[in-house]
Structure 1
Amino acid sequence: MTLLHKTYGKGRVRVMRVHRDGARHEVRELTVQAMLTGGFDPAFTHADNATTVSTDTVKNVVNIVARESMALPTEEFCRAVAQRLLDAYPVVETATVTAHETKWDRLAVDGSPHPHAFTLDGNGRATALVRMSRDGVRIESGVAGFTFLKTTESGWANYLKDPYTTIRETDDRLAATSMEASWLWSRPPADYPAANARILGEMLRVFATTYSHSIQDSLYRMGQAALAAVPEIETVSMACPNKHYLLVDLTPFGLDNANQVFVATDEPHGQIECTVGR
């Protein structure tokens, strides 16, 4: 028996890079796979890992290159990761790095581009629900999978702490969610599309322009703003999972990370839901 082919590496390395130029931030999110070939036969054939680079190390290389070079085009970023792997590990013969970008569009508030709030490109699906009986009709509008984030002006602090608590307090975190929202009409508006756009616009304005003490805090105030903006709606319901972007610890490599490089993960996630009414 002989080993005919072998390769290994790290897949779905999800990395977010925030570039801060004063109050204006730029975001870049990539999902990266880096696969290696080389002198790794003993790991497969003789249970000998002495020449094998850990897949966790491959992930660390991606994060370090992100800190240095995330502004590069995706092709050049992949090239930089591959070059770093080849330079660092002579045992590697080839490094195949692939990536795709998750595009974020800058959010406009009152017609002006916001410095640190973004929505996902090609975002969300408009929804409608009509439940009719002989006694009446219930009409809801909404949005599903509408994804947005801001890179600052969000925190999580002063929460209940006990022996099971490990999360640390922060007053500056990246906040992101993929929102499912619906609103119940008490009477038809003059123009459904215009009213729906106004509701969503007010919710995003509150999220982008006010400090968030928690997703719970933001959701309640977003619902209040929607109700104030459109008198024809009776309630607003929102379900928002946290899309976590966790700060990568680069100190083992002698590097700082001033809220720049994040690992993207949404499993497990916090799930925050509420309904706001008049």
Structure 2
Amino acid sequence: MKLLSNRYGKGRVRVMKILRADDTHTVQEVNVLALLTGDFAASYTESNNSKVVPTDTIKNTVNVLAKEHLGAEIERFGLSLGRHFLQRYEQVESATAEIHAKNWQRMTIDGEPHPHSFAAGSEAKMWTQVVCRRGGAEEIRSGVRDLVILKSTQSGWADYPKCEYTTLPETRDRILATSFEASWTWSSAPANYNTANDAILAAMLAVFANNYSPSAQRSVYEMGEAALQACPEISRVDMAMPNKHCLLINLKPFGLENQNEVFVPTDEPHGQIEGSVVRND
């Protein structure tokens, strides 16, 4: 027998930092997963822990580097973590930092943005994954998870193959709702990750809202195209669009017609539509 692969680290390291610009504050709250690969096989096969950095030390490192490096752009914080573990421990071959940011929204009081009061936003989270490898190779992905979006019309599903097990009727006017996930891979660093991420997400949501959707598959492709057009520094977009179905309620037994007005929302079971879009070159 032999050990095929291994990695380890610390997960769900939660850190909140107040970013201060005079009297105006910004809340940055992150949830970090840090993973290491390297010369750790002896710990698995020989009970030899002499090269294994304790996961508690990894947690402490996240906290200390948050004090020094955590700012508005979580991608740059991920780079500081990955580079630190490679520089500090010669036995580490790669360090991965996956970081999710909580959506704190500034309150508006008496029509003005408040300098230091916030409300929790939606469950949608911006995130990044940074992988730093010995030798200088670095890979960065950014994206969004748990973004629940819905359009109440301008979506359909028709012209699909049918068999003896098909019960779904065709429609050219339906609700399209999903808990959207997307990630994009950086080929070069933008001037500002947050500004670029906002532009990418805005481009995808504009396509979702404005274009007629003959299928979630078509929407995924068009949203990926829009993201690549919006930001020349990304080379690939990966997306998942699990349906949140809205099923039309049959009101005929009660003498009523239901003209796409009353639905049962459900996400079990759900369709799972995924796709990746890259540049031609």
- TM value normalised by structure 1: 0.56
Query: Within 2, Cα distance between the matches of 1:159 and 1:198?
Result: 34
Query: Within 2, Cα distance between the matches of 1:219 and 1:241?
Result: 11
Query: Within 2, Cα distance between the matches of 1:206 and 1:193?
Result: 20
The alignment covers a number of residue pairs equal to 158
- Show the counterpart of 1:221: 222
- Show the counterpart of 2:191: 190
Query: Within 2, Cα distance between the matches of 1:164 and 1:271?
Result: 19
User: Which amino acid letter does the alignment assign opposite residue 127 of structure 2?
Assistant: T
- TM value normalised by structure 2: 0.55
Q: String of CA shifts for 1:250-278, please: whole Å, max 9, x gaps.
A: 11000111111100110000000011000
- Show the counterpart of 2:270: 269
Query: Within 1, Cα distance between the matches of 2:130 and 2:188?
Result: 13
RMSD: 0.9
Query: Within 2, Cα distance between the matches of 1:134 and 1:165?
Result: 53
Q: String of CA shifts for 1:186-235, please: whole Å, max 9, x gaps.
A: 00001100100111100000010010000000000000000001000010
Query: Within 1, Cα distance between the matches of 2:189 and 2:178?
Result: 29
User: Which amino acid letter does the alignment assign opposite residue 183 of structure 1?
Assistant: W
Query: Within 1, Cα distance between the matches of 2:162 and 2:179?
Result: 27
Query: Within 2, Cα distance between the matches of 1:123 and 1:197?
Result: 17
- Show the counterpart of 1:132: 132
Query: Within 1, Cα distance between the matches of 2:123 and 2:225?
Result: 23
User: Which amino acid letter does the alignment assign opposite residue 160 of structure 1?
Assistant: P
Query: Within 1, Cα distance between the matches of 2:164 and 2:251?
Result: 27
Query: Within 2, Cα distance between the matches of 1:164 and 1:254?
Result: 29
Name which structure has the greater RCO, CA cutoff 8 Å, separation 6+: 1
Q: String of CA shifts for 1:140-159, please: whole Å, max 9, x gaps.
A: 00011001000000000001
Query: Within 1, Cα distance between the matches of 2:123 and 2:259?
Result: 29
**1:43-122 → structure 2 map (5 Å cutoff):** 122=122
Query: Within 1, Cα distance between the matches of 2:258 and 2:161?
Result: 28
Q: Secondary structure at the match of 1:126?
A: strand
Identity of matched residues, %: 56
User: Which amino acid letter does the alignment assign opposite residue 246 of structure 2?
Assistant: Y
Structure 1: 5+ residue runs without aligned partners? 1-120
User: Which amino acid letter does the alignment assign opposite residue 257 of structure 2?
Assistant: D
Q: String of CA shifts for 1:105-130, please: whole Å, max 9, x gaps.
A: xxxxxxxxxxxxxxxx6240010100
Query: Within 1, Cα distance between the matches of 2:219 and 2:278?
Result: 15
Q: Secondary structure at the match of 1:170?
A: coil
Q: Secondary structure at the match of 2:155?
A: coil
**Do the aligned partners of residues 123 and 197 (structure 1) sit closer, same or farther apart at CA in structure 2, a change above 3 Å counting?**
farther
Q: String of CA shifts for 1:27-47, please: whole Å, max 9, x gaps.
A: xxxxxxxxxxxxxxxxxxxxx
Give how far 1:240 is off: 1.1
User: Which amino acid letter does the alignment assign opposite residue 222 of structure 1?
Assistant: M
Q: Secondary structure at the match of 1:239?
A: strand
Query: Within 1, Cα distance between the matches of 2:171 and 2:199?
Result: 32
**1:193-208 → structure 2 map (5 Å cutoff):** 193-208=194-209
- Show the counterpart of 1:161: 162
User: Which amino acid letter does the alignment assign opposite residue 155 of structure 1?
Assistant: G
